[in-house]
Amino acid sequence: MSPSVGRPARSSAEAARDFIERNLNVRQVNKVLHAFPSPRMWQETDIPVRERLEARKAAQESHDLALYVAVPYCIRTDPDRCGYCLFPVEVYTGNNDLDTYFSYLRREGELYRGLFEKDRVVNIYFGGGTSNLYRADRYPQLMDLVREHFTLPAGVSITLEGIPQLFTREKLQKIKESGMNRVSMGVQQMNDELNALSGRKQTVKHTLQTIEWCQELGLPCNVDLIFGWPRQTVSTMMKDLELLVSTGIHHITHYELNVGGPTDFALNRRHELPSVAENLEMYRVSRDFLKSCGYVQLTPYDWEKIDAPEQRLYEECERDFRATDIFGWGYAGVSQFTGAGGRGAWTYRQHTSIKDYYKAIDEGRIPLEHGFTHQEVDYRLSQLFRNLQGLEVDLDAYQRAFGVELMDEYAGAWQALTERGFVALEGRKLRLVGDGVFYTPMIQTLLSRERIAELSSSLRASARPAALSGT
């Protein structure tokens, strides 16, 4: 491949240094939620989803597939959306909401029937929303529905996400009996006073009780905690971590608060947020503490105990450049599919309005909201983002996958990042090191900024004719 074809212009080291310097004190935004590019670039509303999936099935023997099964609903809080959440959700009003939704989830499955029968399911995640809002007897039905459409290999990781106060021992027992084999709890704060700022009613007691039940049932459990919370200090953060570690939990997700959008924390509590420098100190202190307690860092925010009996992380990262497709089933589900070397890669999101989601299924349509067809450079960046989340990039694997030498492709950026002590080349592995792990989102932006500028320019150009015509 010619160096000028299908790749961004190489940033100079000087421009990269300037970018890094300007962004050291800018709040980080987790970019792994949808890889590359972000959904604001997804403007295609007429993607022939079923036709593409039929062609995919006809062209392949088998493919690795990660399955995400969504639920729309969250409990109402004051402030709205727990004060900080940027995900699309609907307010839960009662069990009828979930009964109706489950019936539509089943009907949506019929729209995709047979299209994934060749796939190898590598992990399943029941997320949301709040997936432990369901009644206990619904979990076996959810797993039966999944098994109708997918062949599940023995031992596949199946995670259910939820909040502490909605778990009961009976519900956890049913979750385990259904075949789900891991629970992930969105705790966010193990400090009742700080947690109250989100309007959530959970207590530390709820969290500790759920962990104890999981341990009694032999159900691996992960706990999510957020640092950079309003009014949080290094001291209060460490009390949370020390208490959590004392339970013997094997998996901890510890990540920086995303601040943005029309959320209460962004609009009304920004003055109470720790500074970027304070967040960096929180990251450093928590990293050193967790390492000293025997945890290994798997991603910028995922930690696993060295003596964990088994690894059951549903990670938004890759350890190599083998293509793993993603299917998001349900409300606001995000899917990504690819061809060899990223050719023909495409992604789409389903409706983020429950009314629109139901309407599409009533009309027998895939509930497509919008999507994006990747050029090769977009797919390479998407895969590079996910590998960086795994803290290292295998240069030989990148070369084999894309026919491109990564160190040449972004030479100026790698030079500037190496000088700053954010990355290090060890043989043919490029590793995030030191504070570079904290600044992973900034590094991803540095690598993709020229392509983002191209896409933004294209969107503006396509919008002008519509504006001139009055449509």
Looking only at the bridges linking them, the beta strands covering 334-337 and 346-350 are: antiparallel
Assess contact for 230 and 265: CB atoms under 8 A.
Answer: yes
- Residue found by looking up tokens 């969504």 in the block: 70
pLDDT (tens digit per residue) in 221-259:
999 999 999 999 999 999 999 999 999 999 999 999 999
Poorest-pLDDT segment among 312-316, 431-435, 445-449, 457-461: 312-316
Say how far apart CA 379 and CA 209 lie, in whole Å. 43
Poorest-pLDDT segment among 26-40, 237-251, 257-271, 350-364: 26-40
Please give the order of strands across the beta sheet that includes 392-394. 392-394, 429-432, 423-426
Say how far apart CA 305 and CA 303 lie, in whole Å. 7
Say how far apart CA 371 and CA 364 lie, in whole Å. 19
Say how far apart CA 422 and CA 433 lie, in whole Å. 5
Structure-token pair, residue 57: 């099935």
Neighbouring-strand partners of residue 141: none
Residue 10 confidence class, pLDDT cut points 50, 70, 90: very low
pLDDT (tens digit per residue) in 173-201:
999 999 999 999 999 999 999 999 999 99
Question: Stretch 42-62: mean pLDDT, rounded?
Answer: 91
Given a cut of 90, whether residue 6 has pLDDT beyond it is no
Domain boundaries, the chain: 13-24+392-436+439-461, 49-305
User: Nearest-CA neighbor of 68 among 118, 113, 138, 131?
Assistant: 131
pLDDT (tens digit per residue) in 91-112:
999 999 999 999 999 999 999 9
Residue 147 buriedness (CB in 10 A; 0-12 / 13-18 / 19+)? exposed
Looking only at the bridges linking them, the beta strands covering 157-162 and 182-188 are: parallel
User: Nearest-CA neighbor of 226 among 39, 68, 82?
Assistant: 82
User: Nearest-CA neighbor of 272 among 307, 233, 237, 230?
Assistant: 230
Residue 30 confidence class, pLDDT cut points 50, 70, 90: confident
Q: In the prediction, which pLDDT does 462 show?
A: 78
Assess contact for 438 and 420: CB atoms under 8 A.
Answer: no
Say how far apart CA 427 and CA 331 lie, in whole Å. 44
pLDDT (tens digit per residue) in 287-325:
999 999 999 999 999 999 987 655 444 455 555 677 789
Angular region, 227: left φ>0, alpha ψ -120 to 50, beta rest = beta
Residues with Cβ within 8 Å of 354's Cβ and at least 6 positions away in sequence, in order, are 72, 90, 101, 331
Assess contact for 161 and 124: CB atoms under 8 A.
Answer: no
Poorest-pLDDT segment among 90-104, 149-163, 330-344: 330-344
Say how far apart CA 138 and CA 101 lie, in whole Å. 12
CATH topology of domain 49-305: TIM Barrel (3.20.20)
Say how far apart CA 347 and CA 134 lie, in whole Å. 29
Looking only at the bridges linking them, the beta strands covering 392-394 and 429-432 are: antiparallel
Assess contact for 339 and 77: CB atoms under 8 A.
Answer: no
- Residue found by looking up tokens 């510890």 in the block: 254
